[in-house]
Amino acid sequence: MHDEDRVALVTGGTRGIGLGIARKLTEAGFTVAITGRRAAEQVQPVLQQLRELEPRSIYVQADVASAVDRKQLLETIEAQLGRLDVLVNNAGIAPRVRADVLEASEESFDELIATNLRGPYFLTQSVAAWMIRQPAKQRSVINISSVSATVASVNRGDYCISKAGIAMATKLWAVRLAEYGIGVYEVRPGIIETDMTEGVKGKYDALIEGGILLEKRWGTPADIGTAVSMLARGELPYATGAVLVLDGGLTLARL
């Protein structure tokens, strides 16, 4: 099966890391479905970019935190594209307010967990059932987490916990889906230049200049997209459950 026969779903694929992933998958020949919470007319320029490479690419407005939206999302993909070979769980949000864990609200915690952890967990459940019913040569689930899965940031504890949960979810799904030949992977980005990190750009510019990274630059959405494309195409065999850390050396232990 050629990659141009295969369909990938990238949640949160209209901007930032998700768009970088969608572009790389489309360049590799995948037909890509992207999702987001914005109305379709607001993402037409992005969709047109993808359609220049693959005319069948689609956008589906959906909030992964909503069970109703997740169901409608998959029904739309099946109706329009007929199959699904790759799920990229990328959609995620940062806290609306970066609050110390001594002061953070339950409302913020619930919102982060619903979008960053519960949504992708149960979307994976539904997609896995579909993939099992519709066998293919190469199928995969790729979770986009963060170095925050292991690096504590006390002013956004809810975000860290949601990403730590994604790390464990990757292990659980890798174990459960192995018998069906469905690979499950985690890609763990570090400091990536997106609209989500724009508000802390000055802080991280100074840290990068001060040597916090081994590779002295911001990461890019294209960096993450390249790794996801490799996994989606099956170019990292014998590695289900693997964690790819793309952080420029940020979390490498040093003396």
Q: Where are the beta strands (DSSP E) in the chain?
A: 7-10, 31-36, 58-61, 86-89, 139-144, 182-189, 243-246
Grade residue 1 by pLDDT with cuts at 50, 70 and 90. Answer: very low
Q: Is residue 254 part of a domain?
A: no
Asked if the model's pLDDT at residue 4 lies above 80, the reply is no
Q: Residue 120: helix, strand or coil by DSSP? A: helix
Convert the pLDDT of each residue in 127-168 to its tens digit: 999 999 998 889 999 999 999 999 999 999 999 999 999 999
CB contact at 8 A, 216 and 208: yes
Closest by alpha carbon to 188, among 142, 121, 229?
142
Classify residue 255: in a domain, yes or no. no
Q: Is the pLDDT confidence value at 201 over 50?
A: yes
On whether the CB atoms of residues 148 and 160 are closer than 8 A, the answer is yes
Rounded-to-integer distance, Cα 146 and Cα 173, Å = 18
192 lies in some domain: yes
Considering the domain boundaries, does residue 33 fall inside one? Answer: yes
Q: Report the C-alpha gap between 117 and 64 in whole angstroms.
A: 10
pLDDT tens for 26-41 read 999 999 999 999 999 9
pLDDT digits (tens, 9 = 90+) for 14-70: 999 999 999 999 999 999 999 999 999 999 999 999 999 999 999 999 999 999 999
The CA distances from residue 217 to 62, 197, 214, 223, 227, in Å, are 33, 14, 9, 12, 18
Range of the domain at 232: 3-246
Tell me the CATH number at 100: 3.40.50.720
Instruction: Convert the pLDDT of each residue in 91-101 to its tens digit.
Output: 999 999 999 99
Q: How confident is the model at residue 3 (pLDDT cuts 50, 70, 90)?
A: low
Residue 251 lies in a domain: no
Mean pLDDT taken over the chain: 96
Sign, Cα dihedral of 135, 245, 94, 38 = negative
Residue 169 has pLDDT above 90, yes or no: yes
Q: Which of 196, 216, 171 is nearest to 18 (CA)?
A: 196
Residue 16 lies in a domain: yes
Between β-strands 58-61 and 243-246, what pairing exists: parallel, antiparallel or unpaired? unpaired
- pLDDT at position 255 is 86
Element (H, E) at 44: helix 44-53
CB burial readout 27-46, b (16+ within 10 A) else e: ebebbbbbbbbeeeeebeeb
Does a structural domain hold residue 253? Answer: no
**Rounded Cα–Cα distance for residues 142 and 86 (Å):** 8
Q: Which of 159, 185, 204, 238 is catalytic?
A: 159
159 catalytically annotated: yes
* Pair type for strands 31-36 and 58-61: parallel
pLDDT over 50 (residue 104): yes
Question: Cβ distance 243 to 170 under 8 Å?
Answer: yes
Asked whether residue 214 carries a pLDDT value surpassing 50, the answer given is yes
**Regarding beta strands 7-10 and 86-89, do their DSSP bridges make them parallel or antiparallel, or are they unpaired?**
parallel
Q: Structural domain tally of the chain?
A: 1
pLDDT of residue 195 exceeding 90:
no
Alpha-carbon gap, residue 56 to 254, rounded angstroms:
47
Residue 252 lies inside a defined structural domain of this protein:
no
